[in-house]
Structure 1
Amino acid sequence: MSAFNRIRWPWALLVVLVLAQICYPLTGGGTRAGLTVATVLLGYAMSVTHALVTRGPRAGAALVGTATVGGFAVEAIGVATGFPFGTYDYSGELGPKLLDVPLIIPLAWTWMAWPAWVAATHLTKRPAVRIALAGLGLAAWDLFLDPQMVAEGYWRWHSPTPALPGVPGIPVGNYLGWLGFALLLMAALAYAGGRAVEIPTEGDAPIITLWFWTYASSVLAHAVFLGLPASAAWGAVVMGAAVLPLAAHLIRPHLIGRRRRIRAQP
């Protein structure tokens, strides 16, 4: 089976996901909450499908086992104890709950854990550095996610201080909790997935496109459409530290090839 045939479903899911996210700032109320749930479901389906078709059953199982199951476990612990994200609770707008955690929340962990991981595999072959880069990328995404969801009233912190300048409602400790768990998640994914998740593949284009789209669209949406300029700035800088090196890494061979062709001209 060709690489294109293997990844046509991730591409199709990405197109629908992008359309749903474009519609998000144009809606409100229950429609916006429904789009939020739909977007998470589409992102989850895309990431798990991509892991399966490009790296096989072990990679897919490792992703679900670490990010979905692990994501639910840490959220259930967090809601019950306040560790590691601070004391918070969820509203009832994101669908059914189990142990006070909306069932789509661990799917969101999985949705973005996979592109963060794949991006890191393209940047380095060193296991420890790969885990660190992937963990940073996933945790940095929360600089967009939490301000947006808190502004919508989907969840709230009981003691949201100290907060980042310009981003009220979310304690700094939450971001540190995200980073700690993201690093643990990536280490577990590397162990459970083994060789299957270590090597980049020629079919990674859709998941890398998702990674770039998430970054660029989040900066634009927060800065222009959602009225959250401070989170746009924080996310642009911190998530950019994980995303922009990959862009440079992928563009560099094309620039080198172009220079060589120019030099070879008579």
Structure 2
Amino acid sequence: MPVVGAAAVWSLVGAAVLVQIVYPLVPDGALTPVTVTSVLLFSAASVADAARRHGARGAAVLLAVAGGGGLLAESVGLATGLPFGEYAYSGTLGAEVAGVPVVVPLAWVMMAWPALVVGRTLARGGAGVALVGGAALAVWDVFLDPQMVDAGHWTWADPSPALPLVPGVPLTNYAGWVLVSVLMVGLLHRLVGPSDGPSGPAAALYLWTYGSSVLAHGAFFGLPGSALVGGLVMGLVAVPFAVALLRRASWISPSTRVSRNPTSTSRWSR
């Protein structure tokens, strides 16, 4: 029997989405509490979904690897400038551990789980899942960092060279994200246990994050550069993922299967 039911997970997903819809509409003074609430709900949805699919152990692994690993990477980054580059938090995101706002490792948790699901859907084998899932996690930062820098939550000592049209965030940051993300997703894949197919809530969270980020950066945040570049870069993962989900849904629908005959040569009968 699952530790967490599907209804509870979808409720958390819905709450996280609702808060993110509200975010661009609230006054500036309320943006930080809404940001923190959004991350808390999103990360809770990811942990709950991991528990639904893999039990309490799966949820604990996600928290340890993504939360603990994210905290370690961020604290080392603050102290040494590696692997992201030299940066500093502004103290606007609430309680901190080792100089890192608590909400930051939770942000790693909230997207590491959907990224693992993306990797397992699009790739095979441990290395493939780590690379594709790591990419799925790292490309999200093309939206995250510009938004947080623009909001004043952290700053970079030397924000150049940067991506075209996305000033304020150095390329070293994205390189660090790729490194940490590949290691993180690879370890999650190894420890969390096998799955029997993509998780609906995790897929919804990933695709919602992609679509809503493009819209919000372009229409509400005044960040057209990251809307365009992030849309293209994250789209390299999100679009194939969406296509794979649609193909899978078509394959499992009885009305679209070509044949149930085990002797059929059709690929849909497998």
Please list, as runs of the form range in 1=range in 2, the aligned pairs for 1:8-27 lying within 5 A after superposition: 8-27=7-26
- Distance across 1 between alignment mates of 2:214 and 2:196: 27
Aligned to 1:228, which of 219, 223, 227? 223
Query: Could you state the TM-score of these two structures normalised by the residue count of structure 1?
Result: 0.90
- Relative to structure 1, the CA distance from residue 2 to residue 154 in structure 2 (aligned partners, 3 Å threshold; closer, same or farther) is closer
- Other structure's SS at 1:84 match: coil
Return the structure number with greater helix share. 1
Counterpart code for 2:42: G
Alpha-carbon deviations, 1:157-185, whole Å to 9, x = none? 01111011111110011001000000111
CA contact (8 A) 2:2 2:52 kept: no
CA contact (8 A) 1:141 1:239 kept: yes
Q: What's the offset of the Cα at 1:255?
A: 5.3
- Distance across 1 between alignment mates of 2:79 and 2:221: 31
- Other structure's SS at 1:170 match: strand
Counterpart code for 1:225: F
**Segment of structure 1 superposing worse, 46-55 or 124-133:** 124-133
Specify the alignment match of 1:123 in structure 2: 122
Specify the alignment match of 2:195 in structure 1: 199
1:178 maps onto 2:177 in alignment: yes
Specify the alignment match of 1:57 in structure 2: 56
Query: Could you state the TM-score of these two structures normalised by the residue count of structure 2?
Result: 0.89
**Segment of structure 1 superposing worse, 137-146 or 123-132:** 123-132
Specify the alignment match of 2:5 in structure 1: 6
Specify the alignment match of 1:110 in structure 2: 109
CA contact (8 A) 2:159 2:168 kept: yes
Specify the alignment match of 2:97 in structure 1: 98
RMSD over aligned Cα atoms:
2.0
Number of equivalenced pairs: 256
Percentage of matched positions with identical amino acids: 43
1:164 maps onto 2:163 in alignment: yes
Alpha-carbon deviations, 1:211-245, whole Å to 9, x = none? 11010000111111111111111111111111111
- Distance across 1 between alignment mates of 2:2 and 2:112: 26
Specify the alignment match of 2:43 in structure 1: 44
CA contact (8 A) 1:118 1:200 kept: no
**Segment of structure 1 superposing worse, 22-31 or 227-236:** 22-31
Q: What's the offset of the Cα at 1:254?
A: 5.2
Counterpart code for 1:107: L
Q: What's the offset of the Cα at 1:201?
A: 4.1
Specify the alignment match of 1:153 in structure 2: 152
1:219 maps onto 2:230 in alignment: no
Counterpart code for 1:71: G
Which one has more relative contact order, counting CA pairs under 8 Å at least 6 apart?
A: 1
Extract unaligned runs of 5+ from structure 1: 262-266
